[in-house]
Amino acid sequence: MDRKQFFDQLAPEWEKSAPADLSQRLERVVSMSRISPGCRILDVGTGTGVLIPFILKAIGKEGYVLAIDISPDMIAVAKSKGFPANVELQVMDAHNLTVPDNSFDTVMCNAVFPHFEDKESALRELQRVLRPGGTLVISHPIGREAVNKLHSETGSIVAEDRVPTPEQMRDLLERMGFVNIEILDEPEFYIAISHKPAS
């Protein structure tokens, strides 16, 4: 079973395991991302689209969201939610984005980063599609340790998928050319915010 098949089978029940206060945590992710009205957002690993309503509040009707996932079944669930016309949902792999360079103001990677099979390759693609000065957000609203424990207990293809420590994440982002890196590693909330150089 590959990752696509793994997440396809989880799609129908995906949101039933969410913590009761997930909405507040997702609001915090978007707030810390400093998204403004009219922004163009790439939501990578959108799953069933849980982050999209919060992005929409921030970008307004003039903004745009391209939400992608490797799992067709996850995208199907997200499409069933009836998002407005400024949200586009596509099956797409973060390692091979079929979008032009410098297309987005912000790239959101919520609860997906450990699942990138080649993190450097994925980060190169995410940086490519960011506009100069654009923002990369890597978030895990339940916290790094909770994610790593959950994955390790699955006994599945994601068992070794880990959220990096702040030190590991900073080193990786710096090596990939991101700047102005901020990382918050709380027991129940993790976020790394960095930027593509402005020039």
* Domains annotated on the chain, with CATH: 3-12+23-195 (3.40.50.150)
Would you state the pLDDT for residue 197?
Answer: 97
Local structure of residue 164 (DSSP, 8 states): P
Contacts of 41 (CB under 8 A, 6+ apart): 35, 55, 59, 63, 64, 65, 66, 104, 105, 106, 107, 108
Q: How far apart are CA 135 and CA 173, in angstroms?
A: 12
What average pLDDT does this structure show over 104-112? 96
Is residue 56 pLDDT above 90, yes or no? yes
Place of tokens 């700047």: 179
Beta strands in 70-118 (DSSP E): 87-91, 104-110
Would you state the pLDDT for residue 170?
Answer: 98
What average pLDDT does this structure show over 139-149? 79
Structural tokens at position 10: 């989880």
pTM score: 0.92
Mean pLDDT score across all residues of the chain: 90
Q: How far apart are CA 44 and CA 93, in angstroms?
A: 9
Place of tokens 């032009």: 100
The H or E element that residue 126 is part of is helix 119-129
Starting at the edge strand that comes first in sequence, how are the strands of the sheet with 64-69 ordered? 87-91, 64-69, 40-44, 104-110, 130-140, 189-195, 179-186
Strand duo 104-110 + 130-140: pairing:
parallel
CA-closest candidate to residue 138, choices 183, 96, 168: 183
